[in-house]
Amino acid sequence: MSSGTAPEGIRIVGATKSFKLDGAPFLALQSTDLAVAQGQLVAVIGPSGCGKSTLLRLIAGLEPADGGDILVDGWTPAEAARRGVLGIAFQDPALLPWRSVLANIALPLQVLGRNVAEAKGRIAELIALVGLRGFETARPSQLSGGMRQRVAIARALVTEPSVLLLDEPFGALDQILRRNMNLELQRIWMRQRSTTLLVTHGIDEALFLADRVIVMQARPGRIAASIDVAFPRPRPLSLFSAPEFAALTAQVADALHTGEG
């Protein structure tokens, strides 16, 4: 599917990004290096405003980096987007309000010029997966916040992306649904093995899903720590209450808090 010139996955070397804030530059992301190997799931965690969304937007080519190199499956972000390498779900579902659930999920296919009719079965499967069977023709305004978020997740998966960018996709869901979606995401991911970058506020969610947790700090936004998570897969829900899970949770919380003092 992809045949980049460099190793696959995400590779970021020395990427920086600053915004203009009242005329003065504001450093949202300090020179950042990050490598996510092909098929790896990396979770990003950090305080609000530390640049997590910015990092994701740089990788998706939605903002130009001020400097440094970003390669996605060996392509520049813009080229990767054009080739349909990416799947993305934002912090906010951002569904087109005039489209039905079905049509919203089909949108990436249309933009990429792919055949929607051929993907019918796949879209139906995704709708079932996110538990929205029976809502195919509903408009976003008729759905609850959590349901909308699930549509956005289905939309992110519809192109069978080799790189998946998820920005707090479960932020709007209640705890029980969230756990279930964690399980589902793990299942989908194990089947598809997309290279995945998952932004989250939940330490437990990050540890449950990720091969590696990146801890970021704010002012300026930067990567402060990287913690490997070696639990065998598939991980059961009982992992949440395992002692070694608690130990790792403490380690991540530590890394999160040291930056604050």
Partner 1 sequence: MQRLARLGIFLAVWEAIGRWQLIGSGALPPPSAILVQFWADRAVYPAHVWATFWPAGIGFLIGDAAAILLAIAFVLVPVLERLLRGFNIAIFAIPPITLSPLLVVAFQGTTPQIVLAAVTVYFPTMIATLIGLREIDPRFADIIRAYGGGTFTILWRVRLRAALPSIMTGLRIAAPSAVLGAILAEFGSGSRWGLGSFLLGSMGQANPARLWGIGLCATALAACGYLVFSLLGALAAPGTAATTMAIRRDPAAEGGKTQGPLVVRLALMLASFLMPFLLWQGVLDLLQISPVIARGPLGVWRVLVTGFDAADERAALVAALEQSVPVSILGMAIGIGGAFVLALVTVVRPAVGRALMPPSLLLQTMPLVALTPLVVLVLGRGLTATLTIVFAVTFFPAFLVMAQGMANTPRAARDVIQVYGGGALQQIWLVGLPSSIPYLFAAARLVAPSALLGVITAEWLATGYGLGNLLNEARGELDYGMIWAVAFASVAVSVIFYLLVQAAETLINRRFFG
Ligand X SMILES: Nc1ncnc2c1ncn2[C@@H]1O[C@H](COP(=O)(O)OP(=O)(O)OP(=O)(O)O)[C@@H](O)[C@H]1O
Return the residue of 9, 10, 16, 53 that touches ligand X, per CB under 6 A: 53
4 binds partner 1 per the rule CB under 8 A: no
* 118 in Cβ contact with 171 (< 8 Å): no
Nearer to ligand X, 50 or 188 (CB): 50
User: Nearest distance from residue 15's CB to ligand X, in Å?
Assistant: 13
Structure tokens at 110: 């249309």
Nearer to Mg ion, 77 or 169 (CB): 169
Partnered with residue 166 across adjacent β-strands are 89, 198
Return the residue of 11, 52, 148, 155 that touches ligand X, per CB under 6 A: 52
155 binds ligand X per the rule CB under 6 A: no
The stretch near partner 1 (CB under 8 A) out of 90-98, 174-182, 193-201, 228-236 is 90-98
Residues 6+ apart with CB under 8 A from 231: 207, 239, 244, 245
Nearer to partner 1, 90 or 208 (CB): 90
98 binds ligand X per the rule CB under 6 A: no
Locus of tokens 């990146």: 214
> Which residue's C-beta sits nearest to ligand X?
53
Query: What is the footprint of Mg ion within residues 52-71 (CB under 5 A)?
Result: 53
The stretch near partner 1 (CB under 8 A) out of 44-52, 82-90, 120-128, 187-195 is 82-90
200 binds Mg ion per the rule CB under 5 A: no
Integer Cα distance of 100 and 95 in angstroms: 9
Nearer to ligand X, 102 or 216 (CB): 216
91 binds ligand X per the rule CB under 6 A: yes
235 binds ligand X per the rule CB under 6 A: no
Partnered with residue 196 across adjacent β-strands are 41, 164
Q: In what order do the strands lie in the sheet with 41-45?
A: 86-89, 163-167, 195-199, 41-45, 212-217, 222-228
96 binds partner 1 per the rule CB under 8 A: yes
Q: Which residue, among 65, 124, 116, 111, has the nearest Cα to 84 in the 3D structure? A: 111
Return the residue of 28, 29, 70, 95 that touches partner 1, per CB under 8 A: 95
Residues that bind Mg ion (CB under 5 A): 53, 91
Residues that bind ligand X (CB under 6 A): 19, 21, 28, 48-54, 91, 221
Residues that bind partner 1 (CB under 8 A): 57, 60-62, 78, 81-84, 86, 88, 90, 92-98, 107-108, 110-112, 139-141, 143, 145, 148, 155, 159
